[in-house]
Chains A and B, each alone.
Chain A
Amino acid sequence: MEASRLNNPIKVHELMVQARTLEERQIRMFKANEGYFWIGGPGEEAFQIPLGLQIHKGEGRDFDFLHLHYRSAGIILAMGAAQPIDFIRQMKNTASDPFSGGRNFGNHASVRKFNIVPITSTIETQFLTAIGGGIAHRRQGGKGITITTSGEAGTAEGDFASALVWSSRPKAELPMLMIVTNNGWGISTDASTQHGEKRVADRATAFGIRNRTINGLDVDESFSAISEAMAYVRTERKPFLLEVMVSRMYGHSSASGGNLAVDEADPLAIYEKKLETQGVMTRKAMDEVRERSTQEMLEIWKKVRQEPLPDPSTIYDNIFYGEKGRSW
């Protein structure tokens, strides 16, 4: 019931377009030397928006905690936890960057008011920090759960196995929704050359952890699968591993050029075809949404590029909480 109420096709489409055009703008910024490095999630929108819309959002242990990886802008936009300008500011490393004050790469968000812990470049460590979130949520009870995301290549790290072990300790199971977005690639390496398991999700079975693999290119399948998994974790207070098959539309990152991979499926195009076939939106209307959003990102960029970079005298600020300047 909750999922169907939130699954408003026009809203979902608008958010998918916003997430996509945000990534496209950041890629353009990289190519224009207006940002040093891009990594993001174009090709994951059909999963990210349904997830973001179903987060029990807020600050503190009564709400969901999110230990995300760096392909998560769509989740955060759908939550309303940040706006496109926040991401553009981080991409441009301006002093106004609300996530890191110009200290970190683009798409490395951090929003304490929405329990989004700082996204880090390290692979799979978020599956370790999520363990602590799960312990706190187990003690807290109620509705809040801990959600963590990673790519399938990162599951080769021992940290993935750690999360399976810790979340399924007998009589101490943790309310953790572990999500693996499987795009079939680890930077330049084909996953099929490195992973013998048929499904990443199968690894949870050995621990008695409920699991499922879904088509993350389909909005409605994502909505219902996330809804069911969340309901299980929220009520049973036990872990769930959800493997989501997605696309990687612009390669690993700007390090591989940030160019469109034409052989990757486009979940936005798939959804738009569905909306058009079902008569929910016309082609013209969808094109207008895209054009408007693209223009909005351009205007944001124009604004942000005028903003100052961080003052180098602040480099020692916040090494320790609330402390400014060099202390030694």
Chain B
Amino acid sequence: MATMAQAIRMALHYGEENLGVTDIFGEDVGPPLGGVFTVTQGLKNAWNSPLDERGIIGAAIGLAFSGDRCVAEIQFADYIYNTIDMLKLAGNQCWASNGQWNLPMTVMTPVGSGIRGAIYHSHSFDSMMTHIPGWKIVMPSNALDAYGLMIACLKDPNPTMFLKPKALLRVKGKQQIPGEPELTREGEKALKEMIDAPLGDRTKWKPKWPAGLTDYTVPLGLARTVCEGTDLTVVSYGRTLPLCEEAANQLREQNEISAEVIDLRSLWPYDWKTLAASIRKTGRVLFVNEDTEVTNFGEHLLRRTVEDLFYELHARPRLLAGTATPGVGLADPLEAACVPQLDTILKAIREVASEQS
């Protein structure tokens, strides 16, 4: 019953021991803190960097050029914006050198709303990141996928961007990660005692990693059908995915709507085959994410839907996304109004499912 934070931590540990990860670094990534969300606690190759986002990305690129594999963290995606040209640089080095160079590096950063983070701790980054070719981009919605997607990133020879939905980092998984203690209260407690750093003095603390961790991998570019349905397709990822699943469950239990929910997991490359098959089956689709709605990645998926599947649609395809506002407001009603919530997802599903052409 690992949380997503614990799952990522275990995957990074597996990467250190088995996949050649030499450096895990960023602001407050090393001891004593081990990351502001505890994702890097106890990792032997984790270290603290200067408070310099451009330096962090530059260092990661340079390490990758040198043949080392690293994981660099930007503490919040809100602070990754001043590295955009470095991300562009990392994404174009293979193409610019006509295939000579590859950069085996992973950048991870917490994204999105859900912790009352106000204007500078709530940004999404999926739309901006998918504008930068040359990267593979993932965003998990549960602990097991977080583990498997991180392993996939650590095996890939290209730059990979691991977007951590911060609202889900402390959410416990419902599926067992191979090697973690059993999914019971006792197992949960045991895992916590093994790999969570204690409060107070940590100078003598060392983690006891589960012995049976594996290279369980979620292949990049593979979506997951969370629940099958016949009336419409709902495509989401990250924080809004569990909300879509909950909405679908409610509507199914009420015998109102049968929604098929797909967790995209990989934003680039993305699993168009699975999406197209589902949309063909239901004839209706709703894309849901919490990034700002203008020039949103979901708009690309809408375009693909229109261009490839227009004559198979029974209703207009829709996008439910965050408001096009300069930030996410702090007060509860403001944050709720800025990004999709359960009620707005339910409303959007009902609208798409009921529209008559």
Contact = CB atoms under 8 A, between A and B. Distances in A.
Please determine whether chains A and B interact with each other in the same assembly: yes
A125 B58 CA distance: 7
Interface in B58-74: 58-68, 70
B62 A129 contact: yes
Given A131-B59, A132-B66, 10 more contacts: A103-B95, A125-B86, A127-B58, A128-B86, A132-B58, A132-B60, A132-B65, A133-B62, A162-B50, A162-B55
B272 interface: yes
A298 interface: no
Given A321-B158, A327-B269, A328-B272, A131 B99 contact: no
B67 A61 contact: yes
A214 interface: no
A132 B98 contact: no
Contact of A139 (B22, B60, B272): B22
Contacts of A65: 62, 65-66
Contacts of A317: 98-99
Contacts of B102: 321-322
Contacts of B136: 320
Interface residues of A, number: 46
A181 B337 CA distance: 53
B81 interface: no
Contacts of A131: 55, 58-59, 62
Contact of A322 (B65, B96, B99): B99
Interface string A94-111: 000101110110001011
Given A101-B98, A110-B101, A319 B133 contact: yes
Contacts of A166: 49-50, 52, 55, 59
8 contacts: A99-B98, A122-B85, A128-B86, A132-B66, A132-B70, A165-B55, A166-B50, A321-B99
Interface in A49-101: 60-61, 65, 67, 97, 99-101
Given A122-B85, A133-B65, A166-B59, A318 B99 contact: yes
Contacts of B158: 320-321
Contacts of B269: 327-328
B100 interface: yes
A200 interface: no
A319 B95 contact: yes
A320 to B, nearest CB: 5
A134 interface: yes
Contact of B96 (A103, A136, A162): A103
B170 interface: no
A133 B66 contact: yes
A286 interface: no
A135 interface: yes
